[in-house]
Structure 1
């Protein structure tokens, strides 16, 4: 699958990124892949979500499970690449099947804000992802690349298309976003 202009994320300093994807519907199916742990684990991270304001959300990343055996994590991610990485989040707003917003723990008492909005367009669904308050400049290219690669996987899961190798795609995208926006890797 080739990336299209729609696939590329945009970045607005000091720390806001935005992605859009047109995905196959119905909207309820896309919503399920955002909130149901077993479905979300196929493209992003497992973990339960209590879909009420203030509710706990777990994001348990197992990125090594999202790719084939020949796709190895780049050196930067080698230590945690095939490990389970739990992160905490807190639901800010959930309006099924249209809006999911949560605060995501970035470490060192820093939290960022992630919003998924879904809108029906015929038999497809426009997903818009906005991630704000990314305080760590040294991780912004990686966050852009990570969302891009994970959203590619979501589309692959929903369409049944062949998945891109996760780690190779992540490494390529991180370099591209670093160059495009002058961000450190």
Structure 2
């Protein structure tokens, strides 16, 4: 899949169990390269969030989002979003280069990244747990979707989608896709 490819139905996040979203993407890179984009701050900041990780069980780290850097200057940030967002996390499980799980937010949520080698690249499965409120699910679904679009563009070295306009469009699309 290239970044220029329109999102196919299987590119969307789905509610896979109560309060859990799962999104899968076939990325155009080997497992080791995708792993580097998940775990190395310099690469991760180019598609998700900055923050140095010590890849050891229970290690604490901070994620720092600056999503304006993923958007064009003419694509304004939606009202209510800060220029920078910080979140304390800790490593819950790490099995290089195929599985990374870390805590997400104060509510006890978590995000798991599972990498599977496939012909043509790597299947990345992102599972985000403990999203009990629908508004959180809509925002997080759109967020993971557009962040993964940016990651695919980085890996394939194609033009990136503009983050904020993509996020807004996807949030509206997810409102019609996710259960009430």
Normalised by the length of structure 1, the TM-score is 0.90
Conservation of the 8 A alpha-carbon contact between 1:17 and 1:144: yes
Shift of 1:132: 0.8
Q: What is the Cα deviation at residue 164 of structure 1?
A: 1.0
Q: Secondary structure at the match of 1:68?
A: coil
Equivalent residue number for residue 39 of structure 2: 35
1:139 is aligned to 136
Hey, what's the Cα distance between the residues in 1 that align with 2:107 and 2:128? 14
Question: Gaps spanning 5+ residues in structure 2: where?
Answer: none
Matches within 5 A, 1:156-171: 156-171=153-168
* RMSD across aligned positions (CA): 1.4
Q: Which protein, 1 or 2, shows the higher relative CO under an 8 Å CA cutoff with sep ≥ 6?
A: 2
Paired positions, count: 176
- Which is worse superposed, 2-11 or 61-70? 2-11
Note if 1:47 corresponds to 2:51.
Answer: yes
Q: Mean alpha-carbon deviation: is it higher for 10-19 or for 39-48?
A: 10-19
Do the aligned partners of 2:14 and 2:178 also contact (CA within 8 Å) in 1? no
Distance 1:177 1:97 in 2: 31
**TM-score (norm. length: structure 2):** 0.92
- Find the residue that maps to 1:168 and give its secondary structure: helix
Shift of 1:117: 0.4
Instruction: Name stretches of at least 5 consecutive residues in structure 1 with no aligned partner.
Output: none
